[in-house]
C-alpha cells in the first residue's frame, strides 16, 4: 500500500531565479511522475515584437533571459541577415570576431553561474561562493567592452554597436589568464571528489534515444553522446576561423553534464584568445538596405543549447511574425523522463542539471494531499539534497 | 539529403524553395503531415527543432522546422490551413514526445486544434485567461 | 510597532520573488551575497520562507499568473514587512507594458517602500537603496 504525495518545487524560491512549478508525484522516496507547469514569466514577447521596428526588437529580445542575454539578440540578428543573404555576406570581418568574443564570454559566465547553483543544491556552498566570485572578473570584462554587466546591447543588423579598443586587449587577455587557475581548481574539485562522484554519477540519466525523442539540445544532449553543436554544424561569427573542439560525453548523467560545462569553459577561453589575436582592423558595421519581404532563420549555440529564431517580414519595417524558441523549451520538457525513477533528494539537482533558463524558483505555498499529513516544500527538498551529501561524506570518511 | 527527401516524399511535396544553400522550405498538404514527419524524423533521422504558427490573411500557416545537423541544413515544412473558422490538423505528438509542448503553445496562441494530441491544455497562459481569445491572431480591421 | 521595526532594521531578512522577470535582476540580487559585495556581513540574508521575511524583494513585470500570487505572498508575510521593487520591470514594466499578458504595475497592487531602478540595477545601486531605506525608516522615529 503506497500513497502518493505531490511535492511542489516552485514557483518562487529564494535561490532559483525564475518561477516554474514542478509537481513531483512521489511514492515513498521515489519520484514516479512529474508535472511541469510554466507560464509565470510569460510576457507576450512574440506578440510585442510585431509592434516594434526591426531594429528595436534586439532590445526587446535581449530581455527574454538575463543569463544568456546575448544569445537571443544574436539569433535575431542572424535571422534578419538570413533574409539578406547571410551573415558572411554583410557583416565586416572585425565585427564577426567581436560577436564571437561576446558570445564566448557569455558562455563562461553562464557556466560559472550554473556551477555555483549546482554546488549549492548539493550542499557545497563554498563552490557557490567561489564560482560566483570568479564570475565577477568576467562581468568586469563585459563592462569594459560594452558598458554594462548584463544586457549588453551589442548586436545590430549588419554588425556590432561598439568596438574593442586596442588598449583594452592586453587587459582582457590578462583577465582570461587569471581565470584559468580558478577553472583548474573547479575541475580538480569536481573530478576528484568521491562525494561528488557518489552524488552525481548515475543520477538523472537521459539515454541517447530519450534525448532524440525529446529533441533536447546543448550540453544536455552532448552528455548523452549526441554530437550536435551549432557552432560547428552551421558556423557563425568567427567560429570557422579559429580552432576549437566540441566536447561530448557518453554517460548521460549529471556528472557528464558537469564535466562538459567545465571543459567548455576552457574551450571558450581558447577561442576568445584566438579572436583577440586574429581580429583585423576595420569597420564594425555595414550599411544595411531595407529588409525585403521574406523569411529568415537564425541559430546560435547558447550556453544551454540551440537557440532558434524565425522571422517573417513583408517589406515594412516591422516583423509580421517572430518565433522564438529558447533551448530550455525542449530541455525542461525532458525532465519528465530525467527526474522520474530517482529519489526526492536527487530531484533538485536533476531538475537543475538541464540548466533551465525559465528557471525553477521555489514557492512556499504547498499542495495538500488530503490523506497525507507530511508536507514538504522546495526549501525542504534542497535541505534533503544537502543532507544526502553530508551522509555520503560521513560514510566515505569512515 | 535533399535528394533523399525528394525521393522519399515524392509527390507529397507541393512546392520546393531553396532560399539559400542551407535553407530549404517546402509545402505539403495538411493531411500528409503525419506521414511526412514520420519519414523525416524516424527514417531520415532529422532533428525536430520547433514549429511556428502564423496568422496570414489567406490561411493559418504552420511551419515545422527540422535540422540536418551533419550538413548544417535546415528544412522547414509548411502546412496551410485554409479553413480559418475551424482550423485543425493532425498532431505529430504521438510520434515523439518532443512535440507536445510546442503544439500546446500553438493551440493556445492561435486556436488551432491538434487532433490526437495526448494532453492539449494550457501551457503559458493563466488559467483564468478567457476561452476563445487567442493572442497571436491578428484582429480584424 | 516602533520596537518591531527597529528590531527589523538591524538585520533585514529578505524574501525574493520573481513576478515574471528575465532573471537579470534576480542574479544581481544573488550577486550581492557573493564575496565581492557580501551583504551577509550586514545581517541581510535570503530566507526560504516568506513567513520569516522582513522585506520582500520583488522583480519582474507583473503578469496575469503572478499578480494574484503576489497578493497572497504579501498577505502571508508577517507585518511589518517592507516591499522593495527591484529593476525597471517592477517599477514601470518598461517595454512589456502593452503586452496582452501583463497587467497592472506593482505599486498598484502592493504598497512599495523602495524603488531601485536599473536594467538590471547594479549591486552597488541595490545596497545604496537599502541603506537609504534604513536611514529613512530610522529618521521617522
Condensed to tens digits (0 to 9), the pLDDT of residues A10-40 reads 544 444 444 455 666 666 677 766 766 665 5
Strand arrangement, sheet containing B73-81: B15-20, B23-28, B73-81, B60-68, B47-55
Whether C100 has its CB under 8 Å from any CB of chain B: the answer is yes
Average pLDDT, chain A: 80
Contacts of B127 in chain C (CB under 8 A): 65
pLDDT at A104: 92
Q: What are phi and psi of B47, to 5 degrees?
A: -100, 130
CB A354 within 8 A of CB A337: no
pLDDT at A81: 92
| Dihedral (Cα; A45, A46, A47, A50), 10-degree rounding | 110
Check whether C85 has a pLDDT greater than 50: yes
Check whether A240 has a pLDDT greater than 60: yes
Contact state of A321 with B69 under an 8 Å Cβ cutoff? no
Contact state of C27 with A65 under an 8 Å Cβ cutoff? no
Whether A134 has its CB under 8 Å from any CB of chain C: the answer is no
Average pLDDT, chain C: 80
CB A393 within 8 A of CB A42: no
Contact state of A15 with C50 under an 8 Å Cβ cutoff? no
* Length of chain A as a residue count: 398
The percentage of residues in chain A with a pLDDT greater than 70, rounded to a whole number, is 80
Contact state of B135 with C63 under an 8 Å Cβ cutoff? no
Query: pLDDT tens-digit profile of B100-127?
Result: 888 888 888 888 888 888 877 776 666 6
Q: Where are the beta strands (DSSP E) in chain C?
A: 13-18, 45-46, 55-59, 82-86, 114-116
Q: Where are the beta strands (DSSP E) in A38-168?
A: 155-156, 159-160
Contacts of A212 in chain B (CB under 8 A): 47, 96
Ranking A45-59, A87-101, A207-221, A259-273 by mean pLDDT, the lowest is: A45-59
Section A367-390 average pLDDT: 54
Among A357-361, A391-395, B44-48, top mean pLDDT goes to B44-48
Residue whose C-alpha is closest to residue A113's, from A383, A356, A371, A369: A356
Ranking A69-73, A200-204, A257-261 by mean pLDDT, the lowest is: A200-204
Query: pLDDT tens-digit profile of A281-330?
Result: 988 888 888 889 999 999 999 888 888 999 999 888 888 888 888 887 78
Report residue A17 as a C-alpha cell. 531565479
The strand pair at B113-115 and B88-90 is best described as parallel
Instruction: Give CA–CA dist C112/C121, Å, rounded.
Output: 17
Among A169-178, A199-208, A353-362, C48-57, top mean pLDDT goes to A169-178
Chains that touch A (3 or more CB pairs under 8 A): B, C
Section C16-39 average pLDDT: 80
Please tell me which residue, A88 or B133, carries the higher pLDDT value.
A88
Whether C98 has its CB under 8 Å from any CB of chain B: the answer is no
Whether B95 has its CB under 8 Å from any CB of chain A: the answer is no
B52: nearest CA in chain A?
A: A323
Check whether A375 has a pLDDT greater than 50: no
Q: What angle do CA C118, C123, C126 make, to 5 degrees?
A: 65
Residue whose C-alpha is closest to residue A301's, from A210, A219, A209: A219
Instruction: Give CA–CA dist A315/C131, Å, rounded.
Output: 52
Contacts of A38 in chain B (CB under 8 A): 123-124
Contact state of B129 with C63 under an 8 Å Cβ cutoff? no
pLDDT at C67: 77
Among A104-118, A121-135, A332-346, A358-372, top mean pLDDT goes to A104-118
Contact state of B135 with C100 under an 8 Å Cβ cutoff? yes
Contacts of A63 in chain C (CB under 8 A): 22, 24, 95, 119
pLDDT at A173: 92
pLDDT at A74: 92
Contact state of A362 with C48 under an 8 Å Cβ cutoff? yes
Section A253-263 average pLDDT: 89
Contact state of B97 with A46 under an 8 Å Cβ cutoff? no
Contact state of A66 with C26 under an 8 Å Cβ cutoff? yes
pLDDT grade for A101, boundaries at 50, 70 and 90: very high
Residues of chain B with pLDDT below 50 are: 141
The neighbouring-strand residues paired with B64 are B51, B77
Contacts of B19 in chain A (CB under 8 A): 82, 294-295
- Best probe of the A interface among C15, C32, C34, C45, by most A CBs < 10 A, is C34
Within 10 angstroms of residue A398's Cβ, the number of other Cβ atoms is 4
Among A63-67, A93-97, A186-190, A303-307, top mean pLDDT goes to A93-97
pLDDT at A392: 75
Contact state of C30 with A48 under an 8 Å Cβ cutoff? no
**ipTM at complex level:** 0.89
Q: What angle do CA C55, C56, C57 make, to 5 degrees?
A: 120
- Best probe of the B interface among C66, C68, C69, C101, by most B CBs < 10 A, is C101
Section A370-395 average pLDDT: 61
Instruction: Give CA–CA dist C19/A186, Å, rounded.
Output: 33
Distance from CA of A168 to the nearest CA of B (A): 35
Side-chain half-sphere exposure of A30, counting CA atoms within 13 A: 5
C22: nearest CA in chain A?
A: A65
Among A198-202, A340-344, A392-396, B75-79, top mean pLDDT goes to B75-79
Query: pLDDT tens-digit profile of C87-97?
Result: 888 888 777 77
Among A38-42, A241-245, C52-56, C77-81, top mean pLDDT goes to A241-245
B110: nearest CA in chain A?
A: A47
Please tell me which residue, A174 or C27, carries the higher pLDDT value.
A174
Distance from CA of A326 to the nearest CA of B (A): 10
Contacts of A137 in chain C (CB under 8 A): none
Contact state of A357 with C23 under an 8 Å Cβ cutoff? yes
pLDDT grade for A41, boundaries at 50, 70 and 90: low
pLDDT at A359: 34
Please tell me which residue, A23 or A270, carries the higher pLDDT value.
A270
Section A185-189 average pLDDT: 85
Q: What are phi and psi of C86, to 5 degrees?
A: -110, 130
Contact state of A42 with C72 under an 8 Å Cβ cutoff? no
Contacts of C64 in chain B (CB under 8 A): 125-126, 128-129
pLDDT at A149: 85
Residue A308 has its nearest CB partner, among B19, B20, B50, at B50
Whether C17 has its CB under 8 Å from any CB of chain A: the answer is yes
| Residues 94-133 (B) with a CB less than 8 A from some CB of C | 125-129
Integer-rounded Cα radius of gyration of chain A: 22
Contact state of C95 with A59 under an 8 Å Cβ cutoff? yes
Q: How many CB pairs under 8 A join A and B?
A: 86
Contact state of A69 with C24 under an 8 Å Cβ cutoff? yes
pLDDT grade for A366, boundaries at 50, 70 and 90: very low
Contact state of B126 with C64 under an 8 Å Cβ cutoff? yes
The strand pair at B73-81 and B113-115 is best described as unpaired
Whether C101 has its CB under 8 Å from any CB of chain B: the answer is yes
The percentage of residues in chain A with a pLDDT greater than 90, rounded to a whole number, is 21
Amino acid at each position: 500500500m503506497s500513497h502518493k504525495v505531490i511535492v511542489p518545487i516552485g514557483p518562487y524560491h529564494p535561490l532559483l531565479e525564475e518561477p516554474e512549478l514542478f509537481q513531483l508525484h512521489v511514492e515513498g522516496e521515489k519520484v514516479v511522475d512529474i508535472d511541469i507547469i510554466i507560464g509565470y514569466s510569460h510576457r507576450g514577447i512574440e506578440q510585442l515584437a510585431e509592434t516594434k521596428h526591426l531594429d528595436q526588437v534586439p532590445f526587446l529580445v535581449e530581455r527574454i533571459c538575463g543569463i544568456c542575454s546575448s544569445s537571443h539578440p544574436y539569433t535575431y540578428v542572424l535571422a534578419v541577415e538570413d533574409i539578406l543573404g547571410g551573415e558572411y555576406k554583410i557583416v565586416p570581418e572585425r565585427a564577426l570576431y567581436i560577436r564571437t568574443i561576446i558570445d564566448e564570454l557569455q558562455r563562461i559566465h553562464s557556466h560559472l553561474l550554473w556551477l555555483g547553483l549546482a554546488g549549492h543544491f548539493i550542499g557545497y556552498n563554498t563552490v557557490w561562493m567561489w564560482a560566483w566570485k570568479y564570475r565577477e572578473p568576467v562581468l568586469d570584462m563585459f563592462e569594459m567592452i560594452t558598458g554594462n554587466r548584463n544586457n549588453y546591447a551589442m548586436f545590430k543588423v549588419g554588425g556590432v554597436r561598439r568596438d574593442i579598443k586596442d588598449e583594452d586587449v592586453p587587459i582582457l587577455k590578462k583577465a582570461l589568464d587569471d581565470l584559468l587557475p580558478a577553472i583548474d581548481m573547479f575541475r580538480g574539485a569536481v573530478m576528484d571528489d568521491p562525494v561528488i562522484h557518489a552524488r552525481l554519477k548515475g543520477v538523472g540519466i537521459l539515454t541517447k534515444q530519450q534525448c532524440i525523442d525529446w529533441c533536447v539540445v546543448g550540453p544536455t544532449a552532448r552528455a548523452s553522446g549526441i554530437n550536435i553543436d551549432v557552432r560547428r554544424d552551421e558556423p557563425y561569427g568567427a567560429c570557422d576561423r579559429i580552432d576549437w573542439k566540441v566536447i561530448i560525453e557518453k554517460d548521460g548523467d549529471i556528472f557528464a553534464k558537469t564535466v562538459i560545462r567545465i571543459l567548455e569553459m576552457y574551450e571558450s577561453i581558447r577561442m576568445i584568445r584566438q579572436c583577440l589575436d586574429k581580429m583585423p582592423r576595420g569597420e564594425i558595421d555595414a550599411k544595411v538596405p531595407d529588409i525585403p519581404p521574406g523569411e529568415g532563420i537564425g541559430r546560435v549555440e547558447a550556453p544551454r543549447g540551440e537557440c532558434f529564431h524565425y522571422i517573417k517580414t513583408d517589406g515594412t519595417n516591422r516583423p509580421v511574425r517572430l518565433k522564438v524558441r529558447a533551448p530550455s523549451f525542449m530541455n525542461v520538457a525532458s525532465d519528465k523522463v530525467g527526474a522520474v525513477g530517482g529519489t526526492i533528494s536527487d530531484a533538485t539537482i536533476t531538475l537543475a542539471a538541464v540548466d533551465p533558463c525559465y528557471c525553477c524558483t521555489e514557492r512556499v505555498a504547498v499542495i495538500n494531499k488530503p490523506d497525507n499529513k507530511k508536507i514538504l516544500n522546495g526549501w525542504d527538498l534542497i535541505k534533503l539534497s544537502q543532507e544526502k551529501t553530508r551522509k555520503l561524506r560521513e560514510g566515505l570518511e569512515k | 539529403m535533399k535528394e533523399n527527401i525528394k525521393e522519399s516524399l515524392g509527390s507529397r511535396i507541393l512546392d520546393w524553395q531553396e532560399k539559400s544553400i542551407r535553407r530549404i522550405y517546402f509545402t505539403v498538404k495538411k493531411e500528409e503531415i503525419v506521414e511526412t514527419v514520420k519519414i523525416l524524423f524516424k527514417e531520415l533521422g532529422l532533428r525536430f527543432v520547433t514549429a511556428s504558427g502564423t496568422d496570414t490573411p489567406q490561411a493559418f500557416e504552420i511551419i515545422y522546422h527540422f535540422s540536418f545537423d551533419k550538413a548544417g541544413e535546415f528544412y522547414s515544412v509548411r502546412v496551410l490551413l485554409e479553413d480559418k473558422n475551424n482550423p485543425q490538423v493532425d498532431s505529430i505528438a504521438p510520434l515523439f514526445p518532443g512535440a507536445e509542448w510546442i503544439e500546446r503553445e500553438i493551440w493556445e496562441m492561435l486556436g488551432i486544434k491538434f487532433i490526437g494530441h495526448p494532453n492539449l491544455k494550457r501551457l503559458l497562459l493563466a488559467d483564468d485567461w478567457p476561452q476563445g481569445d487567442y493572442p497571436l491572431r491578428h484582429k480584424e480591421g | 510597532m516602533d520596537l518591531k521595526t527597529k528590531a527589523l532594521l538591524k538585520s533585514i531578512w529578505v524574501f525574493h520573488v520573481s513576478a515574471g522577470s528575465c532573471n537579470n535582476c534576480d542574479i544581481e540580487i544573488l550577486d550581492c551575497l557573493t564575496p565581492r559585495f557580501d551583504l551577509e556581513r550586514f545581517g541581510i540574508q535570503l530566507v526560504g520562507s516568506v513567513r520569516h521575511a522582513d522585506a520582500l524583494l520583488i522583480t519582474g513585470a507583473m503578469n496575469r499568473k503572478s499578480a494574484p500570487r503576489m497578493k497572497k505572498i504579501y498577505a502571508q508575510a508577517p507585518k511589518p514587512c517592507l516591499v522593495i521593487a527591484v529593476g525597471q520591470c517592477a517599477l514601470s514594466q518598461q517595454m512589456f507594458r502593452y503586452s496582452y499578458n501583463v497587467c497592472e504595475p506593482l505599486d498598484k497592487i502592493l504598497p512599495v517602500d523602495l524603488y531601485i531602478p536599473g536594467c538590471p540595477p547594479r549591486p552597488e545601486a541595490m545596497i545604496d537603496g537599502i541603506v537609504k531605506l534604513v536611514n529613512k525608516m530610522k529618521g521617522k522615529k
